[in-house]
Amino acid sequence: MISGRKFTLGQFAPRDSVIHHLDPRTKILGIFIMMCVLLFTHRPEILLFYFCVIVGLFRISRLQIGLALKNIKPFIWLFLITFLLHLLLTKGRILFTIPTLNISITQEGIQQGFYYTFRIAVLIILASFLTLTTSAMSLTDGLERFMRPFRKIGLPAHEIAMMLSISLRFIPILMDETERIRNAQLSRGASFEGHLIQKIRSIVPMIIPLFLSAFRRANDLALAMDARCYQGGEGRTNFRILVFKRNDTIAFMILGISILPLFLLK
């Protein structure tokens, strides 16, 4: 079951919901617009508003928000770096000073640290929502349709969409492989505890088996595609033709309404 995984980015969770049945182009474009809004806004109330919208989308999709929250744990280091950079480098009203380091902690630094850290977490949840509600094949079809006009200038739309789809599909596979290698190393007496240098040294024995496994899987995939006479997008047809329906139009209207607070508050 997908609910038992520690990392669900790239995994598809099939449900019988309205959002699952939407055209993949609607979801890709909608998520892209929401991400752009989150990147260009600097108001905490707008960020909190969109977080509530995302929670509502998970409820409509019959998904648990915990599925997306599992993806946040591997990015803890990114959150810490983001928070510390804003905490230590942002100027403003000084709350206290660390004597030994001569570093001032400001109120604005704390506020911006929390804000930008939370924004990164929301962006990760949004990316998880797209993959949880859209299968890899649908994502490939949607991305290919978006890039199809660029084929006139020589852009290999089908190949790029296929590579992106395979990359997303390999994320959970490699995470599972990493966990298996880690358990195998632990059974042989390896230790992943200790200070930072010891942890880095303990990770080295996992890198080579992980690379070998990734290359082996890539080679197997290439042989499978070659055995099925895959030769790129030339002359290929789609089993499922993408067509915008009434629900897609309604989804875009709701998205437009949700963007209004950005302009009103601005």
Q: DSSP string spanning 170-202? A: HHHHHHHHHHHHHHHHHHTT----SSHHHHHHH
- Asked if residue 143 is part of any domain, the answer here is no
pLDDT of residue 117: 92
- Asked if residue 24 is part of any domain, the answer here is yes
- Asked if residue 55 is part of any domain, the answer here is yes
- Asked if residue 96 is part of any domain, the answer here is yes
Percent of the chain with pLDDT over 70: 87
Task: Domain of residue 88: give its range.
Answer: 2-134+240-265
- Asked if residue 218 is part of any domain, the answer here is no
- Asked if residue 9 is part of any domain, the answer here is yes
pLDDT of residue 118: 92
Phi, psi of 216 (to 5 degrees): -65, -45
Least confident range from 26-30, 31-35, 220-224, 242-246: namely 242-246
pLDDT in tens, 141-150: 888 888 878 7
pTM of the entire structure? Answer: 0.75
How many structural domains compose the chain? 1
pLDDT in tens, 96-114: 777 776 777 788 888 888 9
- Asked if residue 172 is part of any domain, the answer here is no
- Asked if residue 76 is part of any domain, the answer here is yes
pLDDT of residue 4: 43
